[in-house]
Amino acid sequence: MKFLPIFLKVQSYSCLIIGGGHVAARKAELVMKAGGRVEVCAPEMDARFQHLAQQYEGLLTLTTMTVEADQLSAILEQRQLVVAATDNDELNAQIAGVCQQHSILCNVVDDGEAGSFIFPAIIDRDPVLAAVSSSGQAPVLTRLLRGRIEASVPAAFGLLGRLATRYRARVKQELPNISRRRAFWEKVLTGAVAELVFSGEQTQAETLLERQLQAAKADSREIGEVYLVGAGPGDPDLLTFKALRLMQQADIVFYDALVSQPILDLVKRDAELIHVGKRRSNHTLPQHDINRLLIEHALQGRRVLRLKGGDPFIFGRGGEEIEGLMEHQIPFQVVPGITAASGCASYSGIPLTHRDYSQSVRFITGHLKDGTLNLPWQEFVHANQTLVFYMGLNGLHIICQQLITHGRDAETPIALISKGTTPEQKVITGTLATMPAQLEQQIVHAPTLIIIGEVVRLRSRLGWDSMPDTE
């Protein structure tokens, strides 16, 4: 990140713009719109400045003069913000240099590197503002992104912000508990009140807000809610809309080791993050302790996010966690995630089923217990069946051996997928006979998934990922 995004209060600033073209006029309007006093110095002024002088009466001073380099120290004295907007690159650079010497904020138009700040593209829904920047590197991309945000944020969003501003102090007094207050505002700002504002029904919106505030005040319960959310196999683009929305609402997050950092980065910034492990034979917290923590924090009125790699109900122990929540009558939501089998198979170009090769698929845990895998191996020998082993990396040699021993063809194709769906995805293909020896020559990192069956042969034709196989 090359620039720190901040919102600057400029009402008391003395701002100077050197240059009188249409770009200088745009910068002057932005500063004055935020309440800043602006002086413009240039030998000639764009016609738009006369209109701005009338629109922002008392905030704009126009000084017709040619600024020379030897005048800069005197002209810039006592300024807090300067914009260099001349058509002389050398003069612009000199302005930036003097500003740097005197610790004055300076923007050089069309040269983000020369000054100390840049103007972002702004989405104005006063009092709500959103700013978008490409650090001065791709202004067209910035404008395109601003257009997308503009289209997705209703024009009346500012009215909703003003309504919230009027009620903020009162709601804080009526609902002193921060969790209840936050839940109240989320209900207001994402529910029927917001829809009334967007429809232009301000009076009805305020009436409904009053009614909801009284209801929230009368409800003394402080039981929170638990969200069991599947984070998918690693690629944040595979999250569901509902998963992302709940991730942005949670007060505290209990996450597994298999949840990728890009996904954690999407959690609400001020949420408390607690790592609870859950890798094979290396659990930061035992499952019963995780169950207890979910209950304890929900009973404190917090919104608790249980963030799991893959899907909560496929080797995710989601059912165990729900049982404890139901015993304590704690509200909960379950959000399915794309399980590793689906995500890794798709990103590797391996269909789990195919009319010509496999008419069924089985998901199997490869988690070792007491050094053995106690599984019904005789059920896994059908040639037209795809087997998917979760957590099977350390037991891969046993898996291959047992399948061959129980009758599966030793030439059956197998794929080992490491860090599936992420930029670090690695796919190793072979057969039941060759894979154990191949693995000894490889460095493989968890999480991994094993796919066994004739469908693996299709990877050579259907694989759309750019990562080469290792055989």
Q: Write the CATH number for 420.
A: 3.30.950.10
Quick one: residue 16, left, alpha or beta (phi over 0 = left, psi -120 to 50 = alpha)? Answer: beta
451 plus 370 within the same structural domain? yes
Identify any residues that bridge with 414 across adjacent strands, giving them in sequence order: 430, 452
| Residues 16, 82 contacting (CB under 8 angstroms) | yes
Residue 395 in tokens: 């037991």
195 plus 234 within the same structural domain? no
Q: In what order do the strands lie in the sheet with 37-42?
A: 60-64, 37-42, 14-18, 81-84, 105-108
How many other β-carbons are positioned within 10 Å of the β-carbon of residue 284? 14
23 annotated to a ligand binding site: yes
Asked, for residue 428, whether it belongs to a domain, the answer is yes
420 annotated to a ligand binding site: yes
Residue 393 in tokens: 């990396």
310 annotated to a ligand binding site: yes
326 annotated to a ligand binding site: no
Domain span holding position 163? 157-218
311 annotated to a ligand binding site: yes
Asked, for residue 455, whether it belongs to a domain, the answer is yes
Asked, for residue 128, whether it belongs to a domain, the answer is no
185 plus 283 within the same structural domain? no
Burial class (CB in 10 A: 0-12, 13-18, 19+), 316: buried
The single residue listed with the structure tokens 């380099």 is 69
d(C-alpha 261, C-alpha 32), whole Å = 41
Q: What is the pLDDT along the chain (471 residues), one digit of tens a residue?
A: 888 999 999 998 999 999 999 999 999 999 999 999 999 999 999 999 999 999 999 999 999 999 998 899 999 988 999 999 999 999 999 999 999 999 999 999 988 889 999 999 898 888 888 999 988 888 889 889 988 888 878 788 899 999 999 999 999 999 998 878 888 898 888 778 888 898 889 999 999 999 989 988 887 555 778 999 999 999 999 999 889 888 988 889 999 988 989 999 999 888 999 999 755 545 568 889 999 999 999 988 788 999 999 999 998 889 999 999 999 988 888 999 999 999 999 999 999 999 989 999 999 988 755 556 789 999 999 889 999 999 889 899 999 999 999 999 999 999 999 999 999 999 999 999 999 999 988 889 888 999 999 999 999 887 665 445 555
367 plus 297 within the same structural domain? no
What CATH number is given to the structural domain containing 181?
1.10.8
What DSSP element (H or E) covers 305? strand 303-308
Q: What is the pTM of this model?
A: 0.61
Q: Choose the final residue of a domain: 315, 338, 361.
A: 338
What CATH number is given to the structural domain containing 84?
3.40.50.720
35 plus 63 within the same structural domain? yes
195 plus 230 within the same structural domain? no
115 plus 185 within the same structural domain? no
Asked, for residue 356, whether it belongs to a domain, the answer is yes
Q: Which residues, other chains included, contact 443 with Cβ-Cβ below 8 Å and sequence gap of 6+?
A: none
229 plus 194 within the same structural domain? no
Strands 448-452 and 385-390: antiparallel
Residue 136 in tokens: 């001065």
What CATH number is given to the structural domain containing 305?
3.40.1010.10
Asked, for residue 320, whether it belongs to a domain, the answer is yes
461 plus 394 within the same structural domain? yes
106 plus 44 within the same structural domain? yes
339 annotated to a ligand binding site: yes
Question: What pLDDT is stored for residue 137 in this prediction?
Answer: 84
d(C-alpha 97, C-alpha 226), whole Å = 55
Asked, for residue 410, whether it belongs to a domain, the answer is yes
212 plus 229 within the same structural domain? no
Q: Choose the final residue of a domain: 290, 319, 338.
A: 338
d(C-alpha 461, C-alpha 438), whole Å = 22
Write the single-letter amino acid at 163: L
Asked, for residue 294, whether it belongs to a domain, the answer is yes
Choose among 59, 60, 106: nearest CA to 79: 106
- Provide the annotated active-site residues: 256, 278
191 annotated to a ligand binding site: no
d(C-alpha 357, C-alpha 383), whole Å = 8
233 annotated to a ligand binding site: yes
CA distances from 66 to 18, 20, 44, 69 (A): 9, 10, 9, 10
| Residues 390, 340 contacting (CB under 8 angstroms) | yes
How many other β-carbons are positioned within 10 Å of the β-carbon of residue 140? 8
Asked, for residue 136, whether it belongs to a domain, the answer is no
**Torsion 247-314-422-397 (CA) sign:** positive
Q: Choose the final residue of a domain: 89, 119, 149.
A: 119
105 plus 32 within the same structural domain? yes
* Domain count of the fold of the chain: 4
